[in-house]
Amino acid sequence: MSETKIRILELYSGIGGMHYAADLANVGAEVVFSVDINTSANDVYHYNFPETNQQARNIESINAQEINKLKPNVIMMSPPCQPFTRVGLKLDVEDSRCSSFLHLLDVLPHLNTVVWVLMENVVGFETSEMRNMFTQTLKRCDFNYREFILSPESLNIPNSRSRYYLLARKSKDFQFGLENDILTTFPGCSDKLICSSVRGETLEPYLEEHLPSEELERYLLPDKVLFKYWRILDVRQKCANSSCCFTKAYTHYAEGTGSVLQHNTNESCHERFTEYETTGAISTLKPLELRYFTPREVANLMGFPKEFCFPEATSLKTRYRLLGNSLNVCVVSSLLKILLDCNK
């Protein structure tokens, strides 16, 4: 086996989205150390990457000396987004969940081998004080950086998931964009951005082909959800070329947490909902077989490969929550290619 040239330090590793993105990019990289404090996420990560040096630790316990011994070239990370979300308190750097990121800013100037950084976060981070402190630290450490707000739709994946991304490389500047500008498209139209996990531009290739009746029953929307939220449901069919962002509250809350699927496409959704508005009988909507997307389908839309799976003991609620907290593998993989390509 040839020596790996690129060594990745994966921070806030979650269920392994960054790791899968690095594998998909096929840039000769190895995750030499991975860390997260979430035990449920760590169980899933270890289940899929049993040979990776992965630890359940508070990042604040990691110092520059320990990192330098690992000799990483790349830091890939997705820090907690709650301090910057629209539904949060937006406490920014005053939020205790920023403490580990602030610790990293103290550590970064003392890292001897890190020359690339890729960071993902929620939209809203770009206007935060945390972002300002991060970019100022990068500049002091002789990094050049570019910022993006991108959705998987940019890669013709039928799912909306706009996220903030930052790429930074040491010494050599990027050949596109300007610092402090927010880019909303990938630079250029390089064939290198074609992602093998992109199955098509409609939802159908991302759906489970044969869902047994007992499994279908498990995902059908409960009557109480249909009765209370039928007006606000984002209903999609398999031929749709888009779907709403799936959040960690998917199936727990109905509004703004993700699309639902009309499983039976032989019925007219419009006609059934029009009839229901008149009759008020839930039985009117039953033939549509409105259901939640399964965790496997959500994972497909987020670019996770077919070999990704959850431990059997992971509950359905936890699977949705972990996916909602994760990232789109294809978008990150494409950005990693851009980051490591010094001709761009």
Distance separating the N- and C-terminal Cα atoms of the chain: 29
- Neighbour count for residue 331 (Cβ, 10 Å): 28
Distances (CA, A) of 183 to 92, 124, 147, 286: 23, 14, 6, 44
- Residue 98 annotated as catalytic: no
In the block, which residue shows the tokens 């404090």? 37
Rounded Cα distance between 71 and 113, Å, is 6
Is-contact 36 16, C-beta < 8 A?
no
How would you classify the pairing of strands 6-11 and 29-36? parallel
d(CA 235, CA 237): 7
Q: Which of 81, 98, 245, 330 is catalytic?
A: 81
179-188 CB burial, b ≥16 within 10 A, e <16: eeeebeebee
Catalytic residues: 81
